[in-house]
């Protein structure tokens, strides 16, 4: 009995020490909002952790790598996400989310309501339905607050563009994060035509950090859009040596022309940007 009890007690002890460290880390983290741009190969997956500990996931990459990334970035006891955003129905954004819905309790899923005739989308949809999460259709001007002057705003899909006019990329959810400690723009795979619409709309686009649209493809990041957003940092989320040639040289040159720093998940791995306030 004694022999069996000792390791058990030791186990409890270590668990408590580990829990204390995690709690301490949480307290430390509470001075900043963190945006984790995960290196998930060719695709997007960004986790926002608010100062109060809310977890917001924007896209989930193509495979199940996202589970390992979430496990590393969240405290070990946290098995819930407050909001998951599926920017559009392409596999490099939603395939990983099906795994997330099976492993995490998700409160709300913000999505476009538009699908594709692919096995990946079918799996995404059925995992979403099984998850019990509240599905919310993205609409221009929706704002999500978490009570500390930080918020996320839906800039697109644009109201005046009917579904039949859009391909999946044109229908991408475009989000802007605003905090007193800095701002960031997440355009999904929105192409130059949508960037032009956003500039024309007069919406607040200026942001400290810009996720390069469509993984740095030359079909996004038009000079006018980049000049309007005027970030100090651009993040490219792309797979190492990907077959699409992302990020495109033209995009890199556009950022260079405006003196914008570039971080890349394909070369730099996971990237965490903290906004302190």
- Residues of this chain that interact with Zn ion (CB under 5 A) are 92, 189
Least distance (Å) between residue 210 CB and Zn ion: 16
Choice between 82 and 189, CB closer to Zn ion: 189
Least distance (Å) between residue 159 CB and Zn ion: 23
Choice between 51 and 88, CB closer to Zn ion: 88
Centre a 10 Å sphere on the Cβ of residue 15 and count the other Cβ atoms it contains.
11
Interatomic CA distance for residues 150 and 48, integer angstroms:
11
What angle separates helix 119-131 from helix 91-103, to the nearest 10 degrees? 30
Choice between 189 and 195, CB closer to Zn ion: 189
Least distance (Å) between residue 91 CB and Zn ion: 8
Calculate the CA 223 to chain-centre distance: 23
Least distance (Å) between residue 172 CB and Zn ion: 9
Centre a 10 Å sphere on the Cβ of residue 195 and count the other Cβ atoms it contains.
24
Report which of 29, 7, 35, 17 is spatially closest to residue 179, judged by C-alpha positions. Answer: 35
Strand 55-58 with 46-49, pairing = antiparallel
Least distance (Å) between residue 275 CB and Zn ion: 25
Choice between 118 and 274, CB closer to Zn ion: 118
Choice between 189 and 197, CB closer to Zn ion: 189
Interatomic CA distance for residues 12 and 20, integer angstroms:
12
């Amino acid at each position: 009995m004694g022999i069996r009890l000792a390791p058990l007690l030791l186990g409890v002890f270590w668990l408590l020490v580990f829990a204390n460290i995690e709690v301490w880390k949480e307290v430390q983290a509470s001075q900043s909002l963190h945006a984790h741009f995960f290196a998930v190969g060719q695709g997007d997956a960004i986790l926002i952790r608010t100062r109060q500990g809310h977890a917001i996931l924007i896209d989930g990459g193509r495979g199940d790598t996202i589970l390992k990334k979430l496990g590393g970035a969240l405290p070990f006891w946290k098995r819930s996400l407050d909001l998951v955003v599926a920017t559009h129905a392409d596999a490099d954004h939603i395939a990983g989310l099906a795994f997330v819905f099976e492993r995490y309790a998700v409160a709300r899923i913000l999505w476009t309501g538009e699908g594709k005739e692919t096995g990946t989308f079918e799996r995404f949809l059925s995992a979403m339905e099984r998850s019990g999460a509240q599905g919310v259709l993205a609409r221009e001007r929706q704002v999500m607050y978490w009570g500390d002057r930080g918020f996320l705003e839906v800039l697109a899909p644009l109201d005046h563009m009917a579904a039949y006019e859009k391909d999946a990329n044109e229908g991408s959810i475009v989000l802007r994060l605003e905090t007193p400690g800095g701002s960031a723009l997440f355009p999904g795979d929105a192409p130059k035509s949508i960037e032009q619409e956003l500039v024309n709309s007069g919406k607040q686009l200026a942001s400290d950090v810009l996720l390069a649209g469509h993984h740095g493809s030359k079909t996004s990041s038009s000079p006018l859009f980049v000049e309007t957003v005027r970030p100090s940092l651009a993040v490219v989320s792309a797979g190492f040596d990907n077959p699409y040639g992302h990020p495109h040289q033209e995009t890199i040159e556009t950022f260079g022309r405006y003196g914008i720093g570039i971080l890349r998940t394909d070369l730099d791995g996971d990237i965490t940007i903290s906004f302190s306030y």
